Each structure stands twice: as C-alpha cells, then as structure tokens.
C-alpha cells in the first residue's frame, strides 16, 4: 500500500476520519506527525506529503511524488533544489483561506475608517475617547489587487456593505466574480490609484510581485486613501509606505505581513502613524471553517491524484502560482 504522511497539529478527530477514509479509498495508508517532524529513516517511504514540513526536510522524502502545502503562500517552497527530484508535484491550499482573510479585511477596513485602534488605546488608559470623524464602506471606491479566493470573498462582502465600486486587478484579463464591478490588469493599476479610497493587496509572492506597491505608486494614491496588505510583505516598498504614513500622504494602513517577520526591535514600522499592525494572523489555521476547507481541498486533490487527473491546486514552481 502506498503511504501518505500528514504533518502539523491543526487536525481535529473528524479530519483524521475524513483523511483516513479518503486515503483508504485511494489506496493509501496514512501516518500523522502532529509535531511536523518525520524521522529521516521513515521519510523515504512516503509518496505523498500534506501539511507544513520543514523546508530543509523535504529532500529526505526520497520517494516523494506530491507535496500539498496546507497553506496558500508557497513562495518558500518554489526552489527545485528543495526536493529529492524536480518532478515532485507541488500544490497549495489556496481556497481554504478566503473566508477568514476576507473577515480580517472587512474588520481592518472598518477599524481604519472608524479609528478603532485609537479607541482601544483610550479605553485601556481608562479614558472616554473623543469623537473622531468616521468614514464608511458605503460609497467607497475599492481597488483589490488579486482576484482569487481571498480577493473575491472580500469583494462580495464589501459589495454587500455598499461599496460604490470594486475594481479587481489581476495579471491577465479574465472574467472575475460579479462582485467586482470591473477587472483590470496589473499594467492598468496606476490609472486606478488616484481615485482609490481603499487599496487591498492579496497577491502571492512571486518574482513579479516583489516591490509591487512601489514608492512611485504609493505617491499616486490620494492622501485620504488606506492601504491594506494580506499577501506577502515583499509586495510593498515598506520604507516608502512608512514615509508616506508619517508624512500624512496616506490616511492609514493595515498590514498583516511584513518584509521581515517577526518585525525586528527598532524597526520604524512599529511607530508608523495610523498603521494597524497584526502579526501575520489573518489566515492562520485556528478557525474551524479554514481547517475543514483545508482538509476537504486536500482530499479532493487526493482523489484526483489517485485517479490520475490533474490536481486542482497545482503550483508551477517556475512562476510561483
């Protein structure tokens, strides 16, 4: 019988049952390694790997044919040299995180528009805060870079809350969810920035997206704009964003991802003005829905794999998505 290893501690008993029964149907026996570590002498027996393995350990899986990461951003796993063979198939769990990250996006959008951080800090100091001018999602013009699962789930929610216009920006011109009022390509972004109230970045990290929101592009946003990033920190010229925030050239930002994580002591990003900073938690795996979806997507691709069909969440390591 072929063997499958599942690495990580996010599984509940019903997920084990679901993986076990799918694997049995597909001719696989399953071993679980909740601490993520597979002893080197056992690694060679596994044809399939699902979860969050240490990058450096991948080469010890000498029989590996398919690795499914239980996360969406697989940029750390693109190098062929990490694998025992360049033929190992890489898939991700894109599609599991849309709901939780969309809820994060709606939350931080409203927190920026309604000064929530200021009120939290005032209340912690036992102060009855001042009345501060608020803004609304209703009537806002929103630009979402990345029209995949995350961007789409966010666009649907922002639409339901009355956004005036939601423009999706993607690499290539293809139709997107009807929640997007229009779709544009990356090279059209700059024409959209000057009337953007809220710029949301939900980009995978690929060679193309490093420094995507450059100093020049930040300067095209109005002073009243907010920037939100839930993709990868590398997509933003972080020093340029800090400069713009501190100079009042932007109304604020909410970042869940950073160039370096955790943020180092003394990094100026800690003290940037009107910055709502969360420690890369928008898409973490504690939410039941995310775990359920993650396992369901893997099981779906396990059935595809066993039947010799293409895998739904295949990642081309050369282009990064």
Binding site for a second copy (CB under 8 A): 99-100, 103-104, 106-107, 110-111, 113-114, 116-117, 119-124, 126, 128-139, 156-157, 160-162, 261-263, 265, 270, 276-279, 281, 284, 286-289
CB of 175 to a second copy, least distance (A): 22
Query: Which pair of structure tokens corresponds to residue 220?
Result: 């095209």
Closest to a second copy by CB, 157 or 313:
157
- Number of residues assigned to the chain: 321
Closest to a second copy by CB, 15 or 157:
157
CB of 246 to a second copy, least distance (A): 16
Query: Which pair of structure tokens corresponds to residue 250?
Result: 């932007």
CB of 269 to a second copy, least distance (A): 10
CB of 212 to a second copy, least distance (A): 24
Is 132 exposed, middle or buried (CB count within 10 Å of its CB: 0-12, 13-18, 19+)? exposed
Q: Are 155 and 165 in contact (CB under 8 A)?
A: no
Q: How many CB atoms lie within 10 A of CB 81?
A: 7
Closest to a second copy by CB, 63 or 117:
117
CB of 217 to a second copy, least distance (A): 25
Q: Are 96 and 121 in contact (CB under 8 A)?
A: no
Closest to a second copy by CB, 13 or 86:
13
CB of 159 to a second copy, least distance (A): 8
Closest to a second copy by CB, 21 or 136:
136
């Amino acid at each position: 019988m072929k063997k499958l290893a599942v690495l990580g501690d996010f599984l509940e008993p019903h997920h084990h049952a679901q993986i076990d029964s799918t694997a049995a149907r597909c001719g696989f026996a399953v071993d679980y390694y909740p601490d993520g570590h597979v002893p080197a002498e056992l690694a060679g027996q596994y044809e399939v790997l699902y979860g969050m393995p240490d990058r450096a350990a991948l080469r010890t899986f000498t029989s590996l044919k398919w690795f499914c990461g239980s996360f969406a951003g697989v940029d750390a796993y693109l190098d062929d040299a990490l694998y025992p063979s360049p033929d190992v198939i890489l898939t991700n769990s894109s599609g599991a995180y849309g709901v939780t990250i969309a809820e994060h996006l709606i939350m931080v959008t409203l927190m920026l528009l309604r000064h929530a951080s200021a009120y939290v800090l005032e209340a912690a100091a036992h102060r009855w805060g001042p009345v501060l001018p608020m803004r609304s999602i209703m009537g806002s013009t929103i630009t979402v870079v990345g029209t995949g699962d995350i961007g789409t789930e966010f666009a649907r929610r922002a639409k339901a809350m009355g956004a005036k216009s939601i423009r999706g920006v993607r690499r290539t011109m293809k139709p997107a969810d009807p929640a997007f009022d229009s779709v544009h390509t990356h090279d059209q972004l700059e024409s959209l920035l000057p009337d953007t109230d809220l710029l949301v970045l939900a980009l995978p990290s690929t060679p193309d997206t490093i420094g995507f929101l450059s100093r020049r592009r930040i300067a095209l946003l109005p002073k009243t704009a907010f920037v939100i990033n839930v993709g990868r920190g590398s997509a933003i010229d972080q020093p340029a964003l800090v400069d713009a925030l501190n100079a009042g050239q932007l109304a604020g930002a909410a970042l869940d991802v950073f160039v370096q994580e955790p943020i180092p002591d003394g990094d100026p990003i800690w003290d940037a003005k009107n910055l709502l900073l969360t420690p890369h938690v928008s898409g973490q795996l504690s939410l039941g829905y995310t775990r359920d979806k993650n396992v369901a997507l893997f099981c779906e691709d396990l059935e595809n794999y066993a039947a010799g069909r293409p895998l739904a969440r295949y990642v081309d390591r050369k282009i990064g998505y």
